[in-house]
A and B are shown apart, each in its own frame.
Chain A
Amino acid sequence: MAEIVLRDLVKTYPGAAGPATDGVSLDVADGEFMVLLGPSGCGKTTLLRTVAGLELPDSGQIVIGDRDVTYLDPRRRNLSMVFQSYAVFPHKKVADNIGFGLRVHGMAADEIRRKVSWAAELLQLTDYLDRYPAKLSGGQRQRVAVARAIVMNPDVLLMDEPLSNLDALLRLSFRAELKKLVNELGTTTLYVTHDQLEALSLGDRVAVLRSGRIAQCGPPTEVYDQPADEFVGGFLGSPPMNFLRGVLVEDGDTLRLDVGSQSIGAPRELRPYLGQHIHLGIRPESMVAAEPGETKGTGVLRGTVQVVEPLGSSVLLTMDTAGQQLKVQAPAGFRVDPGSELALDLPVDTRRWYDPESQLLLEVR
């Protein structure tokens, strides 16, 4: 077990237009579950492969548990990995697959057998040890891949989208199982995914990557509630965060954001933006929709319902507010017809403010 330190990692693939990772620095604490999240091509897999040693960085440094491993061969890093394709050897039985790493390290046969049966027990593979992978289902193959990785008792566990090839139902159940397993083992884990739900549910911390850089790194709740920039807010959440564009004006000694003919209160820390454009970010589930006239106050905007989508656990409304589109998540029992007017309450503590130029979160309060 060990911590991971990444410093200014730069990796450009030959012939590529830009760098795959562009000066990434990240600290993963001992025993921490760190998720690398981002859209495809953001460099998250490259980062993972660099930690594994399957790619070498152009510059920067990787330290695992006080040992520099930047250019070390993968086999000397004492880590293990779960591949997206599972990479379970088709020509070896399940037991030999799980024991592969131990065997090439020259461990005694009965010791291997003991450890393999321990790992097989954990992942409910005991009945399949004598089978070839061709006779297993996708989910079982994935279990073999995980068992093979944990049996090594590695310093660091790397996982490259391990759930993406499973069907939706299996993914959900295995996600919970994986979380429990890694929690019990307490191994430092680096986990790559493009699925925000996976990231939020599994990670102790989530690092959101965008074009080779870390846009934000923090606990899942923080990343979700306080997106560091508009990209993170738009990438996390389904539907994503809404961004309203308006002009900051003065109203007595308070500030207000003018959105079309309506306006909404703004904190006084935003004074430097007076008279300028500014973006208001708000999550669809943070807004409360009601009949117009029921609520009045500084935090209310009116809008027209365009589309109503009942989703079972909630009702998704697409609204038009002063020419800008808003997605609003209303409770499951909410009934409204397209074309009708609604008042939207935007609670003060759920409003996030972004600089329209840099798209960065503006610290208020």
Chain B
Amino acid sequence: MAEQTATRVSRQSRRRITSSPWLLLAPSIVLLALLFGWPLVQGVLSAFSGDSGLTLGHWQRLFADPYFLQALRNTLLLIVVVVPIQLVLALVMALLMQARPRFSGTHFYLWTIPLAVSELAAGLVWLSVFADRGYLNSFLVNLGLSESGVQWLNYDNTLTMFITVVVAELWRATSLVFVIVVAGVQMIPKDYDEAAQVFGASMWQRLWHVTLPLLRPSLQVALILRTILALQAFAVAQALTGRNFPLLVGETYEWYVNLQNPAVASAAALVVLALSLGTSLAYLRAMRQPDATG
């Protein structure tokens, strides 16, 4: 021990003087505290304070707005529908990749492009498909399936609007889940699946008994991440439907930019934050494993 410390003295002292890790971390901490911490406090304060001290007035205004309740409903519905489909679809895509199809490089490229496409762009891309004179209706009419096409984005028709937003979200954000799951699949040693094959497991049994349990960490990450990001969905619906299919974050934008009321906007934003934290905690609690098996 004694001679060990002796040989390490020069090294340690050098380290202590030149680079405490906190010195390297400090810039990022200051930046984040300034740009994220401070505004967060400000946002909470402004949502609860009016001209005469504390007030719940902003919250009353927010909840009195019919758009808000619609937005809340739409957002939750969107998550409940989109996220499970995305997980399943991404899993299927990852397993297809694992089967090493021909042109897998090309497939992989095309399947990951939406990863870099912004929400707004994705909305506009699907606008070209779902517009009244868009490509989907052209296709339907050309095939003789419809006389003049379906008015997918008509403000009366909440269901079709919902469908278009779901499809666009599936297109845009499944890539992220896909990449996470593929990375997870690649980390599972092939031996496990081969052992299952040799011991007589069918394809479904292998999926259920081996692949899914071993993929669990990746699926958890994907689930939490996607739910939080889906809560923030906004520009896709905005591009496709304007305010006809309101979403929570869209309402914040609306209150701030068009209705010029930062306090109510903050209140709406806090609802999103509360939902994010709530679902994350719920997930983490539900997923806590009974045994620490690693």
Contact = CB atoms under 8 A, between A and B. Distances in A.
Interface of A: 52-54, 73-81, 83, 85, 87, 89-92, 100-101, 104-105, 132, 134, 148, 152, 158
B198 A74 contact: yes
Contacts of B157: none
Contacts of A85: 189, 191
B293 A83 contact: no
Contacts of B205: 104
Interface in B177-203: 189, 191-192, 194-202
Given A90-B293, A132-B291, A134-B294, A83 B200 contact: no
23 contacts: A54-B194, A74-B194, A75-B197, A75-B198, A75-B199, A75-B200, A75-B202, A76-B200, A79-B198, A81-B195, A83-B191, A83-B194, A85-B189, A85-B191, A87-B192, A89-B210, A90-B214, A90-B293, A100-B209, A101-B200, A104-B199, A104-B202, A134-B293
Given A83-B195, A134-B294, 15 more contacts: A54-B197, A75-B200, A78-B200, A79-B198, A80-B198, A81-B198, A87-B191, A89-B192, A91-B293, A92-B209, A100-B196, A100-B201, A104-B196, A104-B199, A152-B199
The interface centre, meaning the residue of A54, A74, A91, A101 with most chain B CB atoms within 10 A of its CB, is A91
A104 B214 contact: no
Contacts, number: 70
Interface of B: 189, 191-192, 194-202, 205, 209-210, 213-214, 216, 291, 293-294
B198 A132 contact: no
B294 A73 contact: no
A81 B193 CA distance: 13
A132 B294 CA distance: 10
A82 to B, nearest CB: 9
A104 B206 CA distance: 9
A350 to B, nearest CB: 43
Contacts of A134: 293-294
A87 B293 contact: no
B214 A105 contact: no
Given A87-B191, A91-B213, A104 B200 contact: yes
Contacts of A91: 213-214, 216, 293
Contact of B195 (A78, A79, A87): A87
A105 B198 CA distance: 12
A246 to B, nearest CB: 50
A104 B209 contact: yes
Nearest to B193: A87
Given A83-B194, A87-B192, A134-B293, A100 B213 contact: no
Contacts of B191: 83, 85, 87
Q: Which 7 residue pairs spanning A and B have beta carbons closest together?
A: A101-B199, A87-B191, A87-B195, A91-B213, A74-B197, A104-B201, A75-B200
Contacts of A90: 214, 293-294
Contacts of B195: 81, 83, 87, 89
A89 to B, nearest CB: 6
A100 B214 CA distance: 15
A235 B283 CA distance: 58
Contacts of A74: 194, 197-198
A67 B191 CA distance: 26
A77 B189 CA distance: 23
Contacts of B198: 52-54, 74-75, 77, 79-81, 158
B199 A100 contact: yes
Nearest to B291: A132
A92 B209 CA distance: 9
A132 B202 contact: no
B197 A148 contact: no
Contacts of A158: 198
A104 B209 CA distance: 9
A72 to B, nearest CB: 12
Given A104-B202, A132-B291, A134-B293, A87 B197 contact: no
A105 B199 CA distance: 9
Contact of A87 (B194, B200, B213): B194
Contacts of A83: 191, 194-195
Contacts of A101: 199-200
Nearest to A74: B197
Given A85-B189, A91-B213, A148 B194 contact: no
B190 to A, nearest CB: 9
B158 to A, nearest CB: 43
Contact of B189 (A54, A87, A104, A148): A87
A188 to B, nearest CB: 15
Nearest to A104: B201
Contacts of A105: 200
A260 to B, nearest CB: 54
The interface centre, meaning the residue of B200, B205, B210, B213 with most chain A CB atoms within 10 A of its CB, is B200
A148 B205 CA distance: 17
The interface centre, meaning the residue of A52, A74, A148 with most chain B CB atoms within 10 A of its CB, is A74
A74 B293 CA distance: 29
A238 B172 CA distance: 63
Contacts of A87: 189, 191-192, 194-195
Nearest to A103: B209
B194 to A, nearest CB: 5
A223 B294 CA distance: 46
A80 B192 CA distance: 13
